[in-house]
Amino acid sequence: MVYRGEDLENLEDEQLQRTKRTKNDIFLRNAALWTLFLWGLVVFLKTLGFMIHEGDINTANWHWPLPSLKPQLNKISFENVRNSTFTPKLHSVQWIGGFNSSDHDKGLFLREEVDSYVVKSVFDEKYSRVLLSDKTFDYEGHNYSVEFIKASPDLKQILVRSNTTKNWRHSTFGTYFLFDVTENAFRILGHNIAKAQWSPNSIDVAYVHANDLYLYSSKTHTVSKRVTDDGSPQVFNGKPDWVYEEEVFEGDSAMWWSPSGDFIAFLKINETQVHEFPIPYFSQQEEDIYPEVRKIKYPKSGSPNPSVQLMIYNLELQEISGINAGNESTLITEVLWVGDSQVLAKTTDRSSDVLSVVIADAKRQGAHQIPRTESSGDGWWEITHNTMYVSQDSSKGRKQDGYVDLVPLNGYNHLAYFSPADTTKPIMLTDGDWEVVNGPTAIDFETNDVYFIGTKKSSMERHIYSVNLHEPLKVKEITDTTEEGYFSVSFSSGCRFALVSHLGPEVPYQKIIDLKSDQHDTSTNGNVIGKTLFYLEENKVLKARLEDYSIPQKTFSELRLGEDENGEDIVANSFEILPNNFNPKLKNHYPVFFYAYGGPNSQQVAEIFSIGFNQVVASQLNAIVVVVDGRGTGFKGKRFRALVRNNLGDVEAQDQILAAKLYAEKPYVDANKISLFGWSYGGYLTLKTLEKDAGRTFKYGMSVAPVTDWRLYDSVYTERYMHTPQQNRDGYARSKVHNATALGEATRFLLMHGSGDDNVHFQNSLRFLDLLDLAGVENYDMHVFPDSDHSIRYHNANNIVFDKLLNWAGQAYEGRFLN
């Protein structure tokens, strides 16, 4: 119907009168209803009171019968995760001070406050000393920002880095300055410096520029010595090359000052024989029509490794000497000083079968001995970084210099005390069917207490313990093991104070404790030894925020996957995340989203607080998320992890399939909607699992940045677990992703990779795609991220990769890939 103007005016008058009559009718009807309601309520309450009085109702279990008016809780979404809604605040403390005695330890630490860097004390709240009062500064007419600082041991000077540019995973280049706190003056150390380190004497600074090692004197403000002159793109002095940074030191330094500052040890790494790998970059500059090709020295399995030599520079004599620690394929995996003039180096053969401990005398050129040479048996030697020097002190019962190391005992990693340093028979400090994690954390030289993190309660938890050098095997608990907990810790210079970080499973908190206090906490919260001085962080805001969200329930357990070939139970750590409003009475309803990493000696099932992608999947896809640490993973002893030696991808894939079969049997699971996702080694494991399963259990897979052929990955990592291809040809053939026909039996899978990946080269995925083409397999989707490295972050790539994972899995569960 079409209305004219006058008709609309008449209609409005008629509607106005009708509205007035309707309002009067509604008022009278509502009044009557309210009268009846109030009368009924009075009768109800009287009856209820009589029933309660007579005992007909149990008031403890009685609830108001009307529905709750509590607001609907929010589900977890990508937006929450990406804007750090559920990210707990955690603080690191840069403990400072050269105190060796807990009696003089005031718990000094460096703190960033607004625009300044201040030394504070956990012991004295009033103590405050400003080292640097601004985060920007002018030098010779140019403005610089403070991006990293490191105070000298005497706190009189600061190393400042600016103009930082990222190199590889851990390394950077930058412009370094020296700031004199007393004079309030900056002096430039140099541009494009890779690494700079203070000497213990607070005077000298060692730094690396253009792969040569230099010494700078803060007393004369000059370069006092150019230690090496052969640095080049092929020769690295005091700085690791790519493979040593990524796989050996997991850091950016290869130089070590002696305790007195009289010597500096460093590695000379020669990559001349290492083959180059070219990586093309396609979208760096809009105007570039040809790709930029960057070449990286990358030793693939079985190809030449960099040769490495331990060097020692004597500052007094200004002499440099080399230590013959092995042959050109020997790996030097750890270096530390075990006295003012003794340096210890751990070395292995390239396949990590044999560990040797070399001790060199810095005062005698080239003089060294090898007191320890140990075979790994049927396993391998994992690289460690936390071996600690124990200085001689007769007054404390330490007659000679020594060190505390991590060694295997009956198949589990434990602490051992070697004193003197060249002894072959250590004192075992810990033992049992559990493991010390990464070695000692700190040593109190006043009390001889060695602090460490261990799995004594559970391999999924981490607790803090101590043991005394003179009372071996008597382990004391620092944290409360009656409660579930995953802790980390850092200690002040004299080990009197500790920053205890509770990382899960509940919302994290951090506290500073005094281990030497004669008082104790009245109520236990985390620590059972030491007095809590204050909380550095309680994450109260996060706790309150979580009340507004429906968080999918996460539970940890041990899964019994079945029996191995010897008839013994396979028991794996696992956790599951149930979707919101999970209903176990539903039949064939829930999809299952497995996530796996599974690399040798790794761990994903740890009781750490985390709300991230897995919770998004559970909330948004109404899926059960499952993570299983199968055989080969860490912290359950050598027998559990060493099974993968020379045969990667076999038992790891078996265990994922066994776990998936257990879930497929659950009545509330839709067995046709079981998928597996993994990144890096997890991407490899995803493809190997789909290959071994051939569509019987896992219907879908999502593989990101996978290794597909271990001949294509770096030598140091791969040969530790597989030996060389020349030694283990059949093992490499089995371990590569090779059965395209079996992969074709899965319903569908997704492959994603960054073309600029310097770690797991895009070559892996291209070789795999060629294999699929040759076999005529087409049941997959592919997404390439131009110029992204292994983390896939270039040009918004990280958002896209996770969006695609979620959307692709959602389509799989909706049955979009069945036709």
Q: What is the pLDDT of residue 97?
A: 75
Q: What is the pLDDT of residue 41?
A: 47
Determine which helix (DSSP H) or strand (DSSP E) holds 7, and give its type and residue range: helix 5-54
Type of residue numbered 117: Y
Summarize pLDDT for 549-586 with one digit per residue, the tens. 999 999 999 999 999 999 999 999 999 999 999 999 99
Cβ(29)–Cβ(35) below 8 Å: no
Lookup result for tokens 């490495």: 308
Cβ(750)–Cβ(715) below 8 Å: no
Q: What is the pLDDT of residue 524?
A: 81
The residue-averaged pLDDT of 436-451 equals 97
Q: Are residues 714 and 798 in the same domain?
A: yes
In a domain, 542, yes or no: no
Instruction: Please state, in angstroms and rounded to a whole number, the distance separating the CA atoms of residues 305 and 714.
Output: 9
Q: Are residues 434 and 580 in the same domain?
A: no
Q: Are residues 555 and 471 in the same domain?
A: no
Sign, CA dihedral 247-253-255-257, equals negative
Type of residue numbered 646: N
Task: Among 11-15, 148-152, 182-186, 632-636, name the one with the lowest average pLDDT.
Answer: 11-15
Q: How many domains does the chain have?
A: 2
In a domain, 645, yes or no: yes
Residue 715, pLDDT above cutoff 70: yes
Q: What is the pLDDT of residue 22?
A: 43
Summarize pLDDT for 279-334 with one digit per residue, the tens. 999 999 999 999 999 999 999 999 999 999 999 999 999 999 999 888 888 999 99
Peptide linkage before 420 cis (omega within 30 of 0) = yes
User: Which residue from 175, 177, 266, 198 is spatially nearest to 228, judged by alpha carbons?
Assistant: 266
The residue-averaged pLDDT of 423-441 equals 97
For every residue of 261-319, DSSP letters joined together read SSEEEEEEEE-TTSPEEEEEESSS-TT--S-EEEEEE--BTTSPPPEEEEEEEETTTTE
Q: What is the pLDDT of residue 739?
A: 98
Residue 123, pLDDT above cutoff 70: yes
- The CATH code of the domain that includes 579 is 3.40.50.1820
Q: Are residues 692 and 797 in the same domain?
A: yes
In a domain, 331, yes or no: no
The pair of structure tokens assigned to 296 is 């990286």
Q: Are residues 581 and 686 in the same domain?
A: yes
In a domain, 757, yes or no: yes
Percent of the chain with pLDDT strictly greater than 90:
85
Residue 187, pLDDT above cutoff 60: yes
Q: In this predicted model, which residue has the larger pLDDT, 106 or 331?
A: 331
Band of residue 112 on the pLDDT scale cut at 50, 70, 90:
confident
**Dihedral, CA of residue 724, residue 725, residue 728 and residue 732, to nearest 10:** 120
In a domain, 448, yes or no: yes
Lookup result for tokens 């397999």: 777
The strand order across the sheet containing 388-390 reads: 388-390, 402-409, 412-418, 427-428
Strands (E), 382-506: 388-390, 402-409, 412-418, 427-428, 436-444, 449-454, 463-468, 471-477, 486-491, 497-504
Last residue in a domain, options 461, 476, 491? 476
Q: What is the pLDDT of residue 4?
A: 36
DSSP one-letter code for 525: B
Residue 51, pLDDT above cutoff 80: no
Task: Among 114-128, 430-444, 673-687, name the one with the lowest average pLDDT.
Answer: 114-128
Task: Among 14-18, 144-148, 327-331, 457-461, name the one with the lowest average pLDDT.
Answer: 14-18
- Look over the chain and give the mean of its residue pLDDT values, rounded to a whole number: 91
DSSP-assigned beta bridge partners for residue 427? 417
Q: Are residues 438 and 575 in the same domain?
A: no
Q: Are residues 700 and 804 in the same domain?
A: yes
Task: Among 64-78, 598-612, 707-721, name the one with the lowest average pLDDT.
Answer: 64-78
Q: Look at strands 780-785 and 748-754 and give their pairing.
A: parallel
Q: What is the pLDDT of residue 98?
A: 55
The residue-averaged pLDDT of 727-755 equals 98
Task: Among 114-118, 271-275, 414-418, name the one with the lowest average pLDDT.
Answer: 114-118
Q: What is the pLDDT of residue 54?
A: 37
Summarize pLDDT for 204-255 with one digit per residue, the tens. 999 999 999 999 999 999 999 999 999 999 999 999 999 999 999 999 999 9
Q: In this predicted model, which residue has the larger pLDDT, 149 or 328?
A: 149
Q: In this predicted model, which residue has the larger pLDDT, 633 or 327?
A: 633
Strands (E), 411-479: 412-418, 427-428, 436-444, 449-454, 463-468, 471-477
b vs e for 767-800, b when ≥16 Cβ sit within 10 Å of the residue's Cβ? bbbebbeeeebeebeebebbbbbbbbebeebeee
Last residue in a domain, options 476, 504, 520? 476
Enumerate the active-site residues.
Answer: 680, 757, 790
Q: Are residues 695 and 778 in the same domain?
A: yes
Type of residue numbered 703: S
Summarize pLDDT for 469-517 with one digit per residue, the tens. 999 999 999 999 999 999 999 999 999 999 999 999 999 999 999 999 8
Q: What is the pLDDT of residue 295?
A: 96
The residue-averaged pLDDT of 423-439 equals 97
Q: Are residues 449 and 554 in the same domain?
A: no
Q: Are residues 628 and 770 in the same domain?
A: yes
Structural domain for 757, as ranges: 549-813
By CB atoms closer than 10 A (0-12, 13-18, 19+), residue 339 is buried
The residue-averaged pLDDT of 791-801 equals 97
Q: In this predicted model, which residue has the larger pLDDT, 267 or 44?
A: 267
Q: What is the pLDDT of residue 536?
A: 93
Cβ(169)–Cβ(249) below 8 Å: no
Q: What is the pLDDT of residue 65?
A: 41
Residue 648, pLDDT above cutoff 60: yes
Cβ(390)–Cβ(443) below 8 Å: yes
Instruction: Please state, in angstroms and rounded to a whole number, the distance separating the CA atoms of residues 773 and 725.
Output: 26
Instruction: Please state, in angstroms and rounded to a whole number, the distance separating the CA atoms of residues 484 and 505.
Output: 7
In a domain, 795, yes or no: yes
Instruction: Please state, in angstroms and rounded to a whole number, the distance separating the CA atoms of residues 709 and 702.
Output: 18
In a domain, 698, yes or no: yes
Band of residue 522 on the pLDDT scale cut at 50, 70, 90:
confident
Q: Are residues 677 and 806 in the same domain?
A: yes
In a domain, 251, yes or no: no
Residue 68, pLDDT above cutoff 70: no
Percent of the chain with pLDDT strictly greater than 70:
90
Cβ(102)–Cβ(444) below 8 Å: yes
Q: Are residues 601 and 692 in the same domain?
A: yes
Last residue in a domain, options 476, 496, 520? 476
Q: Look at strands 108-113 and 531-537 and give their pairing.
A: unpaired
Task: Among 299-313, 379-393, 515-529, name the one with the lowest average pLDDT.
Answer: 515-529
Q: In this predicted model, which residue has the larger pLDDT, 422 or 22?
A: 422
Type of residue numbered 323: I
The residue-averaged pLDDT of 42-62 equals 40
